[in-house]
Amino acid sequence: MTIGVWILGDQLWEQQAALQSCSQKENLPVIFIESLQHIQIRPYHQQKLVLVWSAMRHFTEELHQKKYSITYTIADDFAQPLQEWVKANQITELRVMTPSDRPFIQLIQNLELSCKISLIPNNHFLWNTEEFNHWAKHRKRLLMEDFYREGRRRFQILMEQDKPVGGKWNLDRENRQPPKSKLHTPPTQWFEPDKITQDVIAKVQSIPIPTYGEIEPFLWGVNRSQALQVLDWFIQHRLSDFGPYQDAMVTGEETLWHAMISPYLNIGLLQPLEVIQAAEQAYQQHQLPLNSVEGFIRQVLGWREYMRGVYHYVDVDYPHKNWFNHTKPLPEFFWTGKTKMNCLHQILTQVQRTGYAHHIQRLMVLSNFALIAGISPQEVESWFHAAFIDAYDWVMQTNVIGMGLFADGGMLASKPYSASANYINKMSDYCKNCAYSHKERIGENACPFNFFYWNFLDKQRNKLQTQGRMSFILNNLNKMSAEELQSIREQAQKWWTDIMPT
Ligand code: SF4
């Protein structure tokens, strides 16, 4: 019997489950396939392709030094190189760690190979799917806060016996400071591309498949050692101040105090528990502020695990959900960044340059605009998946369809994350340099976030009334004069006619 292991581009860790399941490592046949098949679904960000392929090539070298028998294939699809490799190595059992994304699981299950195929349960998350399903199955609502607390208890993170350290589970109230004065942010930990990465950049530049974004400067880490440096940099220089300004948005400050580790976590270069423990250890050893440490740990132990758990828990039709029945197409400026709305322009051009935006830029500007403007959730989700360097089905479907656009009708968010320019003006400096006025709701200078916001509340009033947390804002809508409401409706309609004349 000969076992072979196929390692996917987001499974780049030596302790990953399929490798770990093999007792004999020396000369173990291992295959990586750098395939064009998967990248034709949507125009991926060029830096995402460089990150994944360069990280695969770097990981291959690591395994090679450890005497694995490596085959690295560049191909159009997955099936043919697998068939050839299975035959050449007389493999009788192919082991693959269960992919995080459902379509890839199906792809593997549909493969026709002359050997047994074994999916080994994924160990890149703290909760496996059975454990999450067990937690979720008897609950009326899948509240992230409940799940997060369960995670704190289960993994004994920031706990004193059965109580949270400091007496509170959640210190978010201390973490919403607007960027009032000049912020002195630490530099970002970036890396110059080495020869392997330069080769991948040249390859991506030459592929005849539509892509998105700018490929250079490419400054992301591409191996575990660099990913660990980013984590260490964050713990030493950013974590202590991460909390207060984690929702702030500042022109020219693209990373603020954010960790910048999601691209590495999502391809296996970092593991969630080591990240969480590094933050907790820094809290204990250096007395870092609890609001910062707790806020960061909640992102990894709470949100990240929860998004992935819900993705596998919900029905397969979840990606098609559209509770508000929003059908407007995604405006072209999402791809080009060419819009007079300064907040969107700043963030969209940043995403083009780096593949990155932080969670409030994603949620309260990009998703918020798509939600209140009535854009199709499926078009928005596909764009998010294309544009971001850390995007995968498991994280984008729940984040965009569920949290950002409330298209699941509230399975995972307790209310729609909709906001007018007021919020963006409070939490950013974008409005200061915008062609529109954040104060005006109607008229030529009115900020589109304002008339779309009120138009959204008006159009979706019946559905929103069922969401208890919306009653205060709906009362404000009720106080608006009929004339003003009519002008808002007309202006929202005119905006669409202007960008898409028939
Ligand atoms: Fe964005 Fe409106 Fe502010 Fe301009 S005024 S930056 S469009 S929120």
Query: What's the CATH number of domain 129-313, 1.10.10.10, 3.40.190.10, 3.40.640.10, 1.25.40.80?
Result: 1.25.40.80
Block means of pLDDT (10 residues each) for the chain, 502 residues, are 96 97 94 92 95 98 96 95 97 98 96 97 97 92 92 97 93 85 89 98 95 98 98 96 93 94 98 98 95 96 97 95 97 97 98 97 98 98 98 96 95 91 97 97 97 97 88 90 96 94 66
219 backbone dihedrals φ, ψ, rounded to 5°:
-125, 10
What ipTM, to 2 d.p.? 1.00
pLDDT of residue 412: 85
Protein residue closest via CA to atom 7 of ligand 1: 341
Which DSSP letter does residue 61 get? Answer: H
369 Cβ below 6 A of ligand 1: no
Fold of the domain built from segment(s) 3-120: Rossmann fold (3.40.50)
Residues of the chain with CATH 1.10.579.10: 319-499
Protein residue closest via CA to atom 3 of ligand 1: 431
424 Cβ below 6 A of ligand 1: yes
Backbone φ/ψ region at 410: left (φ over 0), alpha (ψ -120 to 50), beta:
left
Residues of the chain with CATH 1.25.40.80: 129-313
436 Cβ below 6 A of ligand 1: yes
362 Cβ below 6 A of ligand 1: no
- Interval between CA 335 and ligand 1 midpoint (Å): 19
Q: Which amino acid is at 243?
A: G
Ligand 1 atom with the smallest distance to the CA of 424 is: 8
**Nearest Cα to Cα of residue 328 among 370, 384, 368:** 370
CA quadruple 91, 122, 392, 311: dihedral sign: positive
* CATH code, 319-499: 1.10.579.10
Distance CA 9, CA 185 (A): 33
Q: Helices 482-499 and 448-459: crossing angle, nearest 10°?
A: 110
423 Cβ below 6 A of ligand 1: no
Residues of the chain with CATH 3.40.50.620: 3-120
451 Cβ below 6 A of ligand 1: no
Whole-structure pTM value: 0.96
427 Cβ below 6 A of ligand 1: no
Spatial CB neighbours of 130, under 8 Å, sequence gap ≥ 6: none
**Nearest Cα to Cα of residue 242 among 260, 226, 227:** 260
Protein residue closest via CA to atom 5 of ligand 1: 438
For the chain, the residue count is 502
pLDDT of residue 502: 63
pLDDT of residue 425: 97
